[in-house]
Amino acid sequence: MTGSLRLPARLGPLLVFGVLAGLVLVTEHHLVHRLEFRLHPALLPPAVAFDVLVLLPALFYWLVVRRYRLPVSTVAIAVGGCLGLCRWLLPAGQLSLLKWLGGLAIGLEALTLGYTLLQLRRIGRAYRNARQQSPHVVENLLIACQVALGPLAPLVATEVAVLRYAVLGAWARPEVGAGEKAFSTYRQSGFVALVGALGIVLVLESAAVHLVVAKWYPVAAWVLTVGSVYSLLWLLAHGQAVRCRPVLLSQTALVVRVGFCWRVTIPRSQVTAAQHLTGDLPASATGCLNLAKLLFTPPNVLLYLTEPHVVQGPFNLRRVTRCLACYLDEPQALVQQLAPGLA
């Protein structure tokens, strides 16, 4: 599974921009709080303003807008954010231009908010249209986000899916379309108990770490706590998504899903063999993609395919394989229903 954690190439420019922007802001924040900054009011404040208002938008255009082919108007959104950062970094008395920049920042922030709301309306409309055709939430989110976000759609859709399943998953119904037979993957394996136990351990551990670290580094303690809360959201979302997104079998296709983490649609005609496992993976399954790891249980079904298939994951992660190992509560039922049509 180590190969599955490799980030796709298209996320590279976005990550590079994030790292460079973070380094610039940390450097400028350190400079502003040094004594030399107050001793050179005519030189250093304008230099800091230049770095934030010119260098950061230039990096955003070069690394994000050009690489992802975003509208050039998105640079204005970046400038508005940089104006806010500039006001935060520089005291008003250090640079008289900041009063004018403050008004401009408010105007750009209002335009940014309006643009964001407009995009949200487009995404919401596209999601409702996709929802009428399919009950599958993750796929519908991808379709809706691609309308306004293009290559960034997988990133945003994954984060929205995490919040959706973590907050609303307990009330959501299983996502099963017309003519599809569902095979659950969590009832017999103890998956629910394991997720609950991991959640309790994560809460207790994060509380203990926060109390210990806060004594010496309060800011670091809150950063670690936020990271723990985010991890807990992922765990809750994964647990609910496994319940809501079972494996599906229709007259024409087999859809294998592991929560919102992995999914692949395989035409039934391209399944060459379906084997019920009662022990370890056989030697012939070398290179097989084991999807049961995220269910914290050994696989009990082995599928061989006629040709390589792309298994899609969160943040547009992908694996290509001709062999899948997965877990089902009723493995024999799936194997029996696939048997008549095996290639």
Mean pLDDT, residues 223-242: 91
Which of 222, 244, 266 lies at the terminal end of a domain, its last residue?
A: 244
Does residue 265 belong to any structural domain of this protein?
yes
Which of 69, 104, 119 lies at the terminal end of a domain, its last residue?
A: 119
| Residue recorded with tokens 């400079």 | 31
Domain extent, residue 219, equals 185-244
Does residue 162 belong to any structural domain of this protein?
no
Does residue 18 belong to any structural domain of this protein?
yes
The yes-or-no verdict on residue 151 having pLDDT over 80 is no
Give pTM, 2 decimals: 0.68
Polymer length in residues for the chain: 343
pLDDT of residue 1: 41
The yes-or-no verdict on residue 4 having pLDDT over 60 is no
Shared domain check, 98 and 57: yes
Shared domain check, 228 and 266: no
Which of 244, 262, 285 lies at the terminal end of a domain, its last residue?
A: 244
Mean pLDDT, residues 214-223: 84
- How many domains in the chain? 3
Both tokens of residue 321?
């394989």
3-state secondary structure labels for all residues of 168-218: HHHHCCCCCCCCCEEECCCCCCCHHHHHHHHHHHHHHHHHHHHHHHHCCCH
- Which tens digits make up the pLDDT trace of 254-275? 999 999 889 999 999 999 999 9
Quick one: DSSP state of residue 319?
E
Q: How far apart are CA 161 and CA 246, in angstroms?
A: 16
Q: How far apart are CA 240 and CA 230, in angstroms?
A: 16
Shared domain check, 237 and 265: no
Both tokens of residue 64?
């994000």
CA-wise closest residue to 70 among 26, 7, 17: 17
| Residue recorded with tokens 């670690």 | 224
Shared domain check, 88 and 73: yes
pLDDT of residue 154: 85
Beta-strand (E) ranges in the chain? 181-183, 247-249, 253-258, 262-267, 271-276, 289-290, 301-312, 318-326
For residue 342, the SS3 value is coil
Does residue 175 belong to any structural domain of this protein?
no
The yes-or-no verdict on residue 44 having pLDDT over 80 is no
Both tokens of residue 225?
């706590």
Q: Please, which residues have CB within 8 angstroms of residue 148's CB and are 6 or more apart in sequence?
A: 119, 122, 123, 126
Shared domain check, 193 and 260: no
- Which tens digits make up the pLDDT trace of 174-198? 999 888 999 999 998 889 999 999 9
Q: Please, which residues have CB within 8 angstroms of residue 213's CB and are 6 or more apart in sequence?
A: 220, 221, 224
- Using only C-alpha atoms, the chain has a radius of gyration, in whole angstroms, of 25
Does residue 167 belong to any structural domain of this protein?
no
Q: How far apart are CA 327 and CA 295, in angstroms?
A: 8
pLDDT band, residue 2 (cuts 50/70/90) = very low
- Which tens digits make up the pLDDT trace of 111-132? 656 666 777 888 888 889 988 9
pLDDT of residue 68: 75
Does residue 127 belong to any structural domain of this protein?
no
Shared domain check, 6 and 100: yes
Mean pLDDT, residues 54-67: 84
The yes-or-no verdict on residue 286 having pLDDT over 50 is yes
Both tokens of residue 179?
């003519």
Shared domain check, 253 and 301: yes
Does residue 125 belong to any structural domain of this protein?
no
Among 15-24, 68-77, 257-266, whose mean pLDDT is lowest?
A: 68-77
Shared domain check, 294 and 193: no
